[in-house]
Amino acid sequence: MKVTHSLAGFGLFVQTCNVAYGTHHAHLRPTKFNVILVLSIFVSALSFIPLLLTTRPAIELAGTRITHENKPDFWLLDVQVRTFTAMYSVASLTYILMEQIRFRLVKYFLPYSDKWDYLFVTLTLLIWTLTTVVFGVIHPITPSIQTLAGAAWTSYGLLVDNLLSFTLMHQILSNRQHLSTIDPLQHVRRLIRALALLCATSWVALAVFIVGNFLYPTDGKMRTLFFRVA
């Protein structure tokens, strides 16, 4: 239990650092994009509070059946999990939509019809609604369905983030001679390497989360541990 508490606490610490850095960056460059991004990071950090609160009951109630005595504990755990899912889903949706809006900058190099932007946003909202809202918060049929729904949304979010980020960076790198304000080539390449490392780490974390659920489908303690590691 101490390990899972420590992992969740470390996650909250990292998110708090992200909020501090994002706030500083938004203060230096107070654009709408940066301000909304900070709000997204802030909500994401707050989601770790109910996550911390679920650690003890998730372990203590793992493998037990619902009885009259422990029914309130199961109810409270369910509320905390749904609260975490709701806050995480709102934060991640905001971030993904901001990524899609920022991607419109690529039209400077690669013109395309506005209808693709609307279709992309509509697709994102549909997937988000089905996975996190319906099966994650409103009506999680079973814990396994709730887990798969969360994994599906996270996978989609990572895929969109990776594709849009690398495409935009590639277009900037390929057309840097047309931009007078572009950073030196070495700096752009360093950004791409850092982005690649971040993307790889994110996919590894998601893989750890999914593997834990497949390896220990009936062991709630181990699934909780793998989730905290991820």
What is the rounded distance in angstroms from the CA atom of residue 195 to the CA atom of residue 161?
10
The pTM is what?
0.80
Tell me, what's the pLDDT at 4? 77
What is the rounded distance in angstroms from the CA atom of residue 85 to the CA atom of residue 130?
13
Residues 160 and 93 sit within 8 Å (Cβ to Cβ)? no
Tell me, what's the pLDDT at 156? 92
Tell me, what's the pLDDT at 136? 84
What is the rounded distance in angstroms from the CA atom of residue 132 to the CA atom of residue 118?
21
What is the rounded distance in angstroms from the CA atom of residue 127 to the CA atom of residue 203?
19
Amino acid at 210: I
Q: How many CA atoms lie within 13 A of 89 on its CB side?
A: 28
Tell me, what's the pLDDT at 176? 62
Quick one: tokens of 204? 């590894």
Tens-level pLDDT at each residue, the chain (230 residues)? 677 778 888 888 888 999 999 999 889 988 888 898 899 999 999 988 888 888 777 777 776 777 777 778 888 888 888 898 899 999 999 989 888 887 776 676 677 788 888 898 999 999 999 998 888 888 876 777 888 888 899 999 988 888 887 777 777 677 666 555 555 666 777 777 888 888 888 899 889 888 888 888 777 778 778 888 88
Quick one: tokens of 53? 């609160």
Q: Is 71 exposed, middle or buried (0-12, 13-18, 19+ CB in 10 A)?
A: exposed
Amino acid at 91: A
What is the rounded distance in angstroms from the CA atom of residue 164 to the CA atom of residue 41?
19
- Domain residue spans of the chain: 2-229
